[in-house]
Structure 1
Amino acid sequence: MPRLPSPTAGELRRDPLPLRGRTALVTGAGRRGGIGYAVARRLAAYGAGVYLHHHVPHDAAMPWGADRPEEVVAAVRAALGEPGAPVADGPADLSDPSAREQLIATAAEALGGRLDILVANHALSGSDGTLDTVDAAMLDAHWAVDTRSVLLLAQAYARRRAATPAAGTGGRVVMMTSGQDIAGGMPEEIAYALQKGALASITRSLATALAERGVTVNTVNPGPVDTDYLTGDAYEAVAARFPAGHWGMPDDPARLVAWLATDEAAWITGQVIDSEGGFRR
């Protein structure tokens, strides 16, 4: 098999808009304090058209509260690197197994008919417990949102790509996990840790399944990120376990996710990548 030619000098120069002309769906991107929003802004700044998924009732029920979707969209649009690239948004309750086909279709149509990048960032917060307190309802709720919906979204995404003649290479799926396999685990969140662990375990299988379609699949563990969910002494205790002395911020994992979406990461697939800033567990 012949070797591919080395890149030319021109090809080695970094494109300031490496995602120009591409499109992305980012789930769980309805709150400006969250990782999904930071990812959407990065992708938009790199030139991509972006569709932001949100589920406002979930955030509204959490201590951090919900943002108004139109304000989130306006902030992402302000980051656009390619004037005129589309930015759109819409709701979906991904605990409903029928929602994923509609979400993929709606996002693709809003972005011009094609969907290149899927970032499955959404997750269920709360409704969890220790080994002593977890029950069937908690396990089922986290399975439905954290795992089943991600796999069904990947399935719907792959089908959409297969039905899009101009899709070509450059497809990307990025999933999110939570470091549940690293020392100490997550003993206070058994249901969440179990379902996020399933995504880490399926990463390589999905990468193999989608390789022939020109799609890479990777999973990112962002580590502890300041998304407004912790305050006080507990917040300071976590900060002290980073060598830099402060938490990761949403844009820290967002930079990694955005890079994985570019052609520079075309040779990286089937990986679970920790982005934890040296966090000492």
Structure 2
Amino acid sequence: MSPFSGDLRRDLLPLRGRVALVTGASRRGGIGCAVARRLGAYGASVYVHHHVPHDRAMPWGADSIEAVVGSVREALGEPGARVVAGAGDLADPAEPGRLIDAVVGEFGRLDILVANHALSGSGGTLDEIDAEMLDAHWAVDTRSVLLLVQAYARSRARLPEGIPGGRVVLMTSGQDLGGGMPGEIAYALQKGALASVTRSLAGALAGRGITVNAVNPGPVDTGYATGEVHAAVAARFPGGRWGLPDDPARLIAWLATDEARWITGEVINSEGGFRR
């Protein structure tokens, strides 16, 4: 058997004809929007999930979803590709299944799942955490992701055999690196659970032609840090700047292509050399 496979010529639209779901894309300045734009630029149609009440309650506030959709639409690389937005509170255990059904109902199938959403704030120190805080992060950051992957896998099982492009990308954090995240115990716990389960999910879905990977984007400038804190974090990058939303988005979009078809079960750090 030849050690070489595939055409070495690169397709400028490697996701042409495929359908992606990006969760937690409520703001133009967030990672979710950047991922949706990259996937769209590679040729995919994109379903943008949002939960505006969450961002509205945060210091950075919420964008108009029309503006987010417009930003993704202007990045589309394939004339026939489309962008659709849908709301949903993933703390509801029934919502992951409804969301996958909505995407399949709109586009006919789902190829790429990027579980970008998370509960922000209220991560808590060891002294501060309580059962309610832990349960809230479990429901949004972990349980909903696993239920999304389950519903996604079931939707792929209904497709004819041989359809390529099954991809799942989870989002973890830097809880396993350096000094950990002692100020955000509840958040770090649930993100750590996603990192730990990545290889198990990859093993479960490999037979269906689906890859599963997790990405740790490191500190990304999405508007949550200002002033001295912002400057102190920037100084810990060799390049002297924070990560931008498009930095992890480039990696995630590449993982969705056929060029990454042999990469699965991995937790990949995309931190620009950040020093802890």
162, 165, 171: which is aligned to 2:160? 165
158, 167, 189: which is aligned to 2:184? 189
Q: Distance in 2 between matches of 1:92 and 1:114?
A: 19
Ranges of 4+ aligned residues in structure 1 off by more than 6 Å: none
Q: Distance in 2 between matches of 1:151 and 1:21?
A: 26
Tell me which amino acid in the other structure corresponds to 1:6. Answer: F
Q: 1:276 to 1:155 in 2, by over 3 A?
A: same
Matches within 5 A, 1:119-138: 119-138=114-133
228, 232, 240: which is aligned to 1:233? 228
Which residue number in structure 2 is paired with residue 219 of structure 1? 214
Question: Aligned Cα RMSD in Å?
Answer: 1.0
Tell me which amino acid in the other structure corresponds to 1:98. Answer: A
24, 41, 47: which is aligned to 1:45? 41
Q: Distance in 2 between matches of 1:52 and 1:164?
A: 22
TM superposition shift of 1:272: 0.1
Q: Deviations over 1:209-250 (max 9, x none)?
A: 000000000000000000000000000000000000000000
Q: Distance in 1 between matches of 2:170 and 2:123?
A: 21
Q: Is 1:19 paired with 2:40?
A: no
Q: Distance in 2 between matches of 1:56 and 1:29?
A: 9
Q: Deviations over 1:14-62 (max 9, x none)?
A: 1100000000000001110100000000000000000000000000000
- TM-score by structure 1 length? 0.96
Tell me which amino acid in the other structure corresponds to 1:38. Answer: A
249, 268, 278: which is aligned to 2:273? 278
Q: 1:208 to 1:127 in 2, by over 3 A?
A: same
Q: Is 1:141 paired with 2:136?
A: yes
Which residue number in structure 1 is paired with residue 93 of structure 2? 97
Is this contact kept in 2: 1:116–1:167, CA < 8 A? no
Gaps of 5+ in 2: none
Gaps of 5+ in 1: none
TM superposition shift of 1:84: 2.0
Q: Distance in 2 between matches of 1:102 and 1:167?
A: 26
Tell me which amino acid in the other structure corresponds to 1:141. Answer: A
The number of equivalent residue pairs is 276
- TM-score by structure 2 length? 0.98
TM superposition shift of 1:110: 1.7
Identity %: 74
TM superposition shift of 1:5: 5.6
Q: Deviations over 1:118-177 (max 9, x none)?
A: 000000001221001110010000000000000000000000000122662320000000
Q: Distance in 2 between matches of 1:47 and 1:12?
A: 19
Where 2:33 maps in the other structure, the secondary structure is: helix
